Amino acid sequence: ILLLTIESLIWINLAIPYFAGETIQYIGYLIISAIMLGATVDYTIILTRSYLDKRRVQPKRQAITEAISRSAITILTSATILTLCGAFIGLISSNGVIASLGTLIGRGAFIAALNTFLLLPMLFMIFDRVIEKTTLGTHFYKQPYKQPLEEKAGR
């Protein structure tokens, strides 16, 4: 699940210049892939760790809501710095390659934050049972069993 979000971010970030008709230097591709991989891995690890901690004691919807609120400041601080610095470099650099790298980094950090807050929580909700079964030592919170009304009335 994490790999899907990380790779989708890199593909989206590199697809935008392609569809806009811009060229990217090969070194730009390597640098962007490395920086975006590192940033996105950090963001997804922070949110995932928080989600798994909360999921042990809460239902999945409540766990993801609290995980997002708990990790938002950390992720947004890093993403904002990368986005603003990348955009600033893209705007002020007179060297085309450096300007292109700055723009790609800024846009990539923004997409990474969106991806982490929008796509990853949805994947956690959809694949909650798969995550529990495939994560070693994970025991998620189970809802208490509620008796149907017919059984309660029949007693």
Instruction: Give me the average pLDDT of each 10-residue run along the chain (155 residues).
Output: 82 87 84 87 94 94 96 97 96 92 92 93 94 85 70 56
Say if CB 131 and CB 138 are below 8 A apart.
yes
Range of the domain at 7: 2-154
Q: Can you tell me which residue has the tokens 């994970």?
A: 138
Q: What is the predicted pLDDT for the residue at 61? A: 94
Enumerate long-range contacts of 4-10, CB under 8 Å, 24 or more apart.
4/123, 5/40, 5/44, 5/115, 5/116, 5/119, 5/120, 5/123, 6/37, 6/40, 6/41, 6/44, 8/115, 8/119, 9/36, 9/40, 9/108, 9/111, 9/112, 9/115, 10/36, 10/37, 10/40, 10/108
Number of domains in the chain: 1
Compute the C-alpha angle 61/63/67, nearest 5°. Answer: 120
Q: What is the predicted pLDDT for the residue at 147? A: 64
Q: What is the predicted pLDDT for the residue at 86? A: 95
With residues binned 3-state (H G I as helix, E B as strand, rest as coil), the percentages for the chain, rounded to 5, are 80, 0, 20
